[in-house]
Amino acid sequence: MWEFLQTYGLRLVDGALVTCAQFALATLVACSAALVAGLGRLSALWPLRTLATLYIEIFRGTSLLVQLYWIFFVLPLFGVSLPKFEAGFLSVGLNVGAYGAEIVRGAITAVPRGQWEAGYALSMSPARRMRRIILPQALVLMLPPWGNLLIELLKGTALVALIAVPDLMFVAKQINGATFRSAEAFGAALLIYYLLARLLVTPAMRGLERVMARRLGRA
Amino acid sequence: MRFDWNWQFAFEILPRLLRATVNTLIAAGVGYALAMVLGLIFALALRSPWRLPRTLLREVLEFIRSTPLVVQIFFIFYVGPQVGITLSPWVAGMIAIGLHYSAYLAEVYRAGIEAVPRGQWEACRALNMTTRDSYFRIVLPQALPHAIPGMGNYLVGIFKDTPMLSVIGVTELMQAANSIGSETYRFLEPYTLVGVIFLALSLPTAGLVRLGERRLRRKLGL
């Protein structure tokens, strides 16, 4: 085990860094897509509502792997050629964003009616009311489910290895193919994924929850 | 290459894809059955009075839940032969998916069991029932309605995760589309059809799950 890590440790770290980059970029895509689609579903304009519903149902109704292959292999036929790295985080982000949109929508509708009425009574514009009153309170409500969703996102990034993005899973597969030391290669990868989830994602979300609760004076 | 959807080609490959869909459904069904049984065992073990095994099991389930299913599939498929057990892609895939989702279902069951009022336990105690009888005749039947919505969601989830089995060569829908793509160099029709088939199956199922959940809630007076 020790000399395995000595020989392949650096490559695993390289892979883990690519996974982290994919995770960060996909999170960015997922958060923006979720916010836009979540607000879109609550919009008063029906074309926006339909568009948001379409996006959410299509991306939640099919598999991430199908979406990934479709974006990487089929989208070029429509003239949109994405390099594998971009195709990877974009598909993962859009997939998770569709689940996130439902969380955003749920959290916004869970903000008490009185808050909406108070914003109206102060003659705030709808946009201003949403930004200053509703969204900050919805954010506190949606953070815990987002924590779980981000773990799912981290797990989802493992699939980008299948379009040859050199992430942690890809490196593990390569090492396995070269040495047939499967237990060590995949075991190390599993362990690194677990550590990323347990020591990076979960504590970060907990911290964020605390900060947001304090800023709203609820801690 | 430019966009040119070929209907004739699409109809040619459709029967092959539909045959593979059957395999996908079998994989989802078998994986789910395995997950339901394993999940129940884990959920009951999590309530065992011994502290050390309980903590250990909780960590293991946490580990299974927070690591990617694809890596787990590879791990089980390739590590088996290393220790002398050769698993076919199907068997390895079913074990991986069943184990992965059992960790989620254990949580669903746990929440369901905890939703059963304390008084029910006390009543069992008062009637001098054994622990086993209390579980199987009183508590679990009442826990089930609380667990059903979560179970339905993971049924849809397991169905959508079956394409990952293609990485070890299980001949399900994704694998069929991959082979069609590499035989004919046409990816537009197979991958799009796979997406459509998934939508056609998972949207109604998800709708049914939601409907059942609403019915159940009304019946339970929630």
B167 with A162: Cβ contact below 8 A = yes
A190 with B71: Cβ contact below 8 A = yes
CATH number at residue B90: 1.10.3720.10
Closest-CA residue to A157 (of A175, A170, A174, A142): A170
How many beta carbons lie within 10 A of that of residue B188, not counting itself? 22
What's residue A218's pLDDT?
65
What's residue A181's pLDDT?
87
CA distance A129 to chain B (A): 32
Exposed/middle/buried for residue A141 (C-beta within 10 Å: 0-12, 13-18, 19+): middle
A182 with B2: Cβ contact below 8 A = no
First-to-last alpha carbon distance for chain B, in angstroms, is 56
Domain region containing B204 = 7-164+171-220
What's residue A217's pLDDT?
75
pLDDT in tens, B110-152: 999 999 999 999 999 999 999 899 998 999 988 988 888 889 8
Mean pLDDT of B84-108: 93
The domain locations on chain A are 2-215
B174, closest residue in chain A (CA to CA) = A66
Establish if B93 belongs to a structural domain. yes
The rounded percent of chain B whose pLDDT value lies above 90 is: 64
A-interface mutation test, from B64, B70, B107, B170, most A Cβ less than 10 A away: B70
Q: Is the pLDDT of residue A16 over 70?
A: yes
pLDDT in tens, B190-207: 999 999 999 999 999 888
pTM greater than 0.95: no
Sign of the torsion angle spanned by Cα atoms A46, A48, A51, A56: negative
Backbone angles phi, psi at A180, to 5 degrees: 60, 20
CA distance A64 to chain B (A): 8
What's residue B218's pLDDT?
82
Tell the residue number behind the tokens 């459709």, with chain if given. Answer: B14
A183 with B67: Cβ contact below 8 A = no
The rounded percent of chain A whose pLDDT value lies above 70 is: 99
Q: Predicted confidence band at B34 (pLDDT cuts at 50, 70, 90)?
A: very high
B191 with A73: Cβ contact below 8 A = yes
Chain B residues with at least one Cβ partner in A under 8 Å: 1-4, 62-63, 65-72, 74-75, 78-79, 81-83, 160-164, 166-167, 174, 177, 181, 187-188, 191-192, 194-195, 198-199, 202-203, 206
Chain mean pLDDT for chain A: 92
Closest in A58, A63, A181 to B161, CB measured:
A63
A159 with B164: Cβ contact below 8 A = yes
Q: Is the pLDDT of residue A219 over 60?
A: no
Closest in B1, B71, B79 to A189, CB measured:
B71
Angstrom CA distances, B119 to A75, A161, B139, B145, B219, stand at 59, 52, 11, 18, 21
What's residue A9's pLDDT?
87
Tell the residue number behind the tokens 């299980």, with chain if given. Answer: B170
CA distance A176 to chain B (A): 9
| Residue B170 tokens, joined | 């299980």
Tell the CATH superfamily of the A2-215 domain: MetI-like (1.10.3720.10)
Mean pLDDT of B86-91: 91
Mean pLDDT of A181-191: 92
What's residue B2's pLDDT?
58
B-interface mutation test, from A182, A184, A200, A202, most B Cβ less than 10 A away: A182
What's residue B222's pLDDT?
60
Exposed/middle/buried for residue B145 (C-beta within 10 Å: 0-12, 13-18, 19+): middle
B-interface mutation test, from A12, A60, A65, most B Cβ less than 10 A away: A65
Closest in B71, B181, B203 to A169, CB measured:
B71
What's residue B94's pLDDT?
95
Tell the residue number behind the tokens 């790295």, with chain if given. Answer: A85
What's residue B97's pLDDT?
96
pLDDT in tens, A78-116: 888 899 999 999 999 999 999 999 999 999 999 999 999
User: How many CA atoms lie less than 13 Å away from B137 in the CB half-sphere?
Assistant: 10
Q: Which residues of A touch B164 (CB under 8 A)?
A: 63, 65, 159
Chain centroid to CA A109: 22
B63 with A186: Cβ contact below 8 A = no
Establish if B1 belongs to a structural domain. no
What's residue B36's pLDDT?
96
State how many domains chain B has: 1
CA distance A157 to chain B (A): 8
Q: Is the pLDDT of residue B28 over 60?
A: yes
| Residue B114 tokens, joined | 């905890």
Q: Is the pLDDT of residue B221 over 70?
A: no
**CB of A179 within 8 A of CB of A173?**
no
pLDDT in tens, B35-74: 999 999 999 999 888 889 899 999 999 999 999 999 999 9
A186 with B75: Cβ contact below 8 A = yes
Chain A residues with at least one Cβ partner in B under 8 Å: 57-58, 60-67, 69-70, 73-74, 76-79, 151, 154-159, 161-162, 169, 172-173, 176, 180-183, 186-187, 189-190, 193-194, 197-198
